[in-house]
Structure 1
Amino acid sequence: MNRISELSAAIAKHTATIDGYFTSNGLPTPSLEADALWNLPIPDGATDIKQARVAVIEACSELRDLMTGPKELLKFEWTAYVSVKVILRFRLDQSFPVGESTTFEAMSQYSGLSAKQVRRFVKHAILNHRLFQEKSPGVITHSALTAVLASEEIARNAFVVQLDEFWPAGIRVADALEKWPGSEENNETGFSLVNNSSKSLYDILAADPVRNARFGMLFNRPDEPLDLIIENYPWQDFNSVVDVGGSHGAVAIAIAEKFPHMKCIVQDLPETVKEGAARLPVKLEDRVEFMVQDFFTPQRITADVYYLRSILHNWSDKYCIKILQNLVPALKNGSRIIIHERVLPDVDQLAGVDAKPAINLDIGMLQLLNAQQREMHEWPALLQRADHRFQFLGAKKPDGAIRWICEAVWIEGDERRGFPAQ
């Protein structure tokens, strides 16, 4: 059987599995109508259905590419997101309620764009992105996608940030690499160039409260359940944890609630610490403490565990080493360091569902901060570059998680013999 036949058969087989699951459980089949479910109703426990879904998506993608052909695949869609940016900027998605209809003229009056301009952008968005629907000439209704945008500010904000901030920065990555070859500095990036600035993303955003608030909303949204880190590490074996760069303390609070014996300290910059402390439940005030601490300065607190969630992927190796070295003054023999990060897939994992998001994020970190996602073998090497007394113990990725729990231990002198060799 040739490849296109194999893919066709796989699509038919796995689609039938999914459809049978929906039918037998009385669930609605997928739809892009405005009243459709925003997420497919597949519970976490239905691993076979989740695997079938991934198989369909991957097979459809490959089959589409094969049917397109190499030369046509090389065509660049240079107008792809123009209409989306216009729709978001002029809030056309919010110009009429979900469940109702509108006209190009009404959208024109709402936005200030001409009716002709509205028509052009909406038709482009319908064709290229399934934003809106035009089932009758000149009568516009929401699709499932614009229903989400119109109804959920978190999802809408994410789209705005990605198009207004990330996309332009990506266009300048090659220029940044040419201008600053081999740079590990976070102010020598595509983001810096597109903002015509010698400052880093952090400093650029700090000077613009509106943009800064958008970024904050994007990165504060949960991307995986907290119980994946709470239930998959033996917190009960320890008495204290420092959440390094812990923002408003969501993880520390969850640990404190689950393990009443644990003392948790959340460290971050002054404004974040102030906000986090103000939100802390009164019942946890004796066990969760917020502390101002820059992780580029020596650590002041000795604890059993130091937890770094999505911290090191924001920095190049040069600065990650400094962050790790700044833990050293407070470390005691046996202190654990938990690095909770996405990990780039190995070659044999490139077909997995997590591969593309991880690799795309790796490029994203480069264009924004000269930072990176890392492969598994890079973590023990990075720890050793910081200090030979860091010993990598291993890593695991809980089912349903996007991050790996990478664990290291601080070992002094002959005590190193008491831990497994890496």
Structure 2
Amino acid sequence: MVFGIYAWPLRLLAFSGIFALLFSALTMASPNTTTTPRIVDLAAQISTLVAQFQEHLSAHNLSSPSFAEEGPDTFPPEISHLKDALLDATAEMHELLLDPLSLLFKFAAISNLVSIDAISRYKIPDMIPPGSQISFDEISQKTGLQKGPVRRLLQHAMSMRILTEPEPEMVAHTRISKFMTIPSINSWVNFESRETWPATTRIVDAIQKWPNSQEANETGFILANNNKSVQDIVTTSPERAMRFASGMQAIDYVPGYAIENVSTVYDWASLGNVRIVNVAGSRGQAAIELAKNFGNIRLLVQDSANMIQGAESGVPEELKGRVEFMAHGLFEPQTIKAPVYFFRMAFRSLGDKYAVQVLKAQIPVLESGVKILLQDVCMPEPDTIPLWRERISRSVDLALECFSNGRERYLDEWKYLLAAADKRFVLHRVYVPKDSLLGILEIHWDVTCSGEA
């Protein structure tokens, strides 16, 4: 086998040097051990995976992973399985070698968000010219902060690979800080630090105060905001409302969550020449994307009057008449008959009893064979996806609880939800694209399954 220019030296180094010494030391210390120690097994896995990963990059003239400002942000999807395995193996190696206190500190170090918040709030990445650098003194002048606090905050961020100090007193980009110059990413960091963080610290307080609550006014966010709900905040504080809206734009950078991906997660063309009611469709972003890619469908977007006000102006001229809007509350009885109803991430912010109400609200117009398509998360069972992805999904799940007592659902929980609404809601199939948790649950209204739950 021919390896890329980096793959062979890496493998040679691993097996001829470090790996050999490590194996020798371990076998000398435990002469009667018959099974390979876990860290030795991990070292071998990592070496092999790195060689394969780099071989592919070299064969396609692609850059290797780097913290440099112009380092790659993503890698080809065809080697995502190698990346997944490497991330899990290297994380396990790292965490095996940490003592318990250090491991707890790694996961509990909320102080990490302090420096991230500071560089985002002061927009320090925007101060650094691309491919150049700026001094601590210049940043001090631009922010109005003394040099001491600036250096303290930035060097803490540098320990997390955010920014770098290429020479004493000078600050330059890494690919992470460069990524933070994207406006929606900066907005998301602001949202996480100023909205999510305070609310998350009160999740357990809310659980103790209101055990097993599904109410949106019994959350960590409520406790962190003087009994004001998210709705109260966004309707009374334009600044915070903008932060919520802007921060949500960053979801397009999460694999599988971008609006552009809605066209690929389901065989929309198979629906034929149909009208789709997009319930809780916001300002029609998903509907417009579907209409652009599938000329055989028309979409009616339903949402609150405030949400859809002026939304027609965002519909491209060539799609006028195929994407329309209608004021309609999520919990109001459905009045429009259609063969397909589409909900995009509408249920994750709702507790079960409210999610059931939304499903029941559709029943008055449903006829046999109608499809209900839910683009949402079907939570993975433990050990069924790479651990690094699982950690992210479980963190997002907790964030949903802190804002509204919503949550992501497992397959059995989706089935329970449908049965609780009406036994005629029958889960037909679940589509989950590779490298994404966000898929499509296809539900059929089956009148042969008679009787309400």
TM-score by length of 1: 0.91
Contact 2:344 2:375 in 1 (8 A): yes
Q: Quick check: 1:40 aligned with 2:74? A: yes
> CA separation of 1:140/1:253 partners in 2, compared to 1, >3 Å: closer, same or farther?
closer
Taking the aligned partners of 1:359 and 1:77, their CA distance within structure 2 comes to: 18
Q: How does 1:267-278 map to 2 (within 5 A)?
A: 267-278=302-313
Cα distance per residue 1:223-250 (max 9 Å; x no partner): 4355654342344334121011112223
- Residue 253 of structure 1: how far off its partner (Å): 2.3
Aligned twin of 1:53:
83
Once residues 277 and 31 of structure 1 are traced to their aligned partners in structure 2, the CA distance between those partners, rounded to angstroms, is: 44
Q: Distance in 2 between matches of 1:359 and 1:96?
A: 35
Counterpart secondary structure, 1:35 = coil
Aligned residue type for 1:170: T
Q: Which has the larger radius of gyration?
A: 2
Structure 2 residue corresponding to 1:249, chosen from 263, 284, 287: 284
Whether 1:259 aligns to 2:294 is yes
Runs of 4+ in structure 1 over 6 Å off = none
Which residue of the partner structure matches residue 230 of structure 1? 263
2:332 aligned with 1:300: no
State how many pairs are aligned. 407
Aligned to 2:243: 214
User: Which of residues 180, 183, 206 in structure 2 aligns to 1:149?
Assistant: 180
Aligned twin of 1:420:
none
The answer to whether residue 124 in structure 2 is matched with residue 92 in structure 1 is yes
**Post-superposition shift, 1:189?**
0.7
Of 323, 328, 338, the match for 2:358: 323
Deviation at 1:254, TM superposition (A): 3.1
| 1:124 aligned partner, one-letter code | H
Match of 1:205? 234
Q: Which residue of 2 aligns with 1:108?
A: 140
1:9 to 44, 48, 71: 44
Structure 2, unmatched stretches of 5+, are: 1-35
SS of residue matched to 1:345: coil
Equivalent residue letter for 1:237: L
Secondary structure at the residue paired with 1:405? Answer: strand
Equivalent AA in structure 1 for residue 112 of structure 2: A
Moved more, 257-266 or 276-285: 257-266
Would you say the 8 A contact 2:262–2:289 is kept in 1?
no
Structure 1, gaps ≥5 residues long: 418-422
Shift of 1:300: 1.2
Task: Name which of 67, 74, 83 aligns with 2:104.
Answer: 74
**Residue 202 (structure 1) shift:** 2.4
1-side partners of 2:98 and 2:275: how far apart? 57
SS in 2 for 1:325: helix
SS in 2 for 1:314: coil
Backbone CA RMSD of aligned residues: 1.9
Residues 252-303 of structure 1: CA distance to partner in whole angstroms, max 9, x if unpaired?
A: 2233334333221011122331242111122222222111111111111110
1:22 counterpart = 2:57 = yes
Q: In structure 1, how many angstroms separate the alpha carbons of the residues matched to 2:394 and 2:296?
A: 39
Q: How does 1:122-133 map to 2 (within 5 A)?
A: 122-127=154-159, 129-133=160-164
Q: Does 1:398 align with 2:433?
A: yes
User: In the alignment, which of 162, 168, 171 is matched to residue 198 of structure 2?
Assistant: 168
Evaluate the alpha carbon distance shift between residue 374 and residue 106 of structure 1 in structure 2; reply closer, same or farther with a 3 A threshold: same
Asked if residue 333 in structure 1 is aligned to residue 365 in structure 2, the reply is: no
> Residues 178 and 73 of structure 1: is their aligned pair in 2 closer, same or farther, counting only changes over 3 Å?
same
Post-superposition Cα deviations, 1:123-171, rounded to whole Å, max 9, x if no partner, equal 11111x2122112211222222222223x11111111111111111111
Compared with structure 1, are the counterparts of its residues 348 and 106 closer, same or farther at alpha carbon in structure 2 (3 Å cutoff)?
Answer: closer
Q: How far apart are the structure 2 equivalents of 1:244 and 1:154?
A: 26
Distance apart, 1:217 and its partner CA? 2.1
- Matched with 1:371 is 406
CA contact (8 A) 1:103 1:138 kept: yes
Q: CA deviation at 1:106?
A: 1.1
Look up the match of 2:444.
409
Summarize deviations over 1:300-322 as a string: whole Å, max 9, x none. Answer: 11100111110000110011011
Which of 123, 136, 150 is the matching residue for 2:167? Answer: 136
Deviation at 1:400, TM superposition (A): 4.1
Deviations 1:61-119 (A, max 9, x none): 11111000334322342522222222222222222322222222111110011111111
Q: Structure 1: how far apart are the matches of 2:304 and 2:279?
A: 10
Counterpart of 1:121 in structure 2 is 153
Secondary structure at 1:135's aligned position in 2? coil
- Structure 1's 354 and 35: CA in aligned 2 closer, same or farther, altered over 3 A? closer
Code of the aligned partner of 2:424: R
8 Å Cα contact 2:299-2:323 kept in structure 1: yes
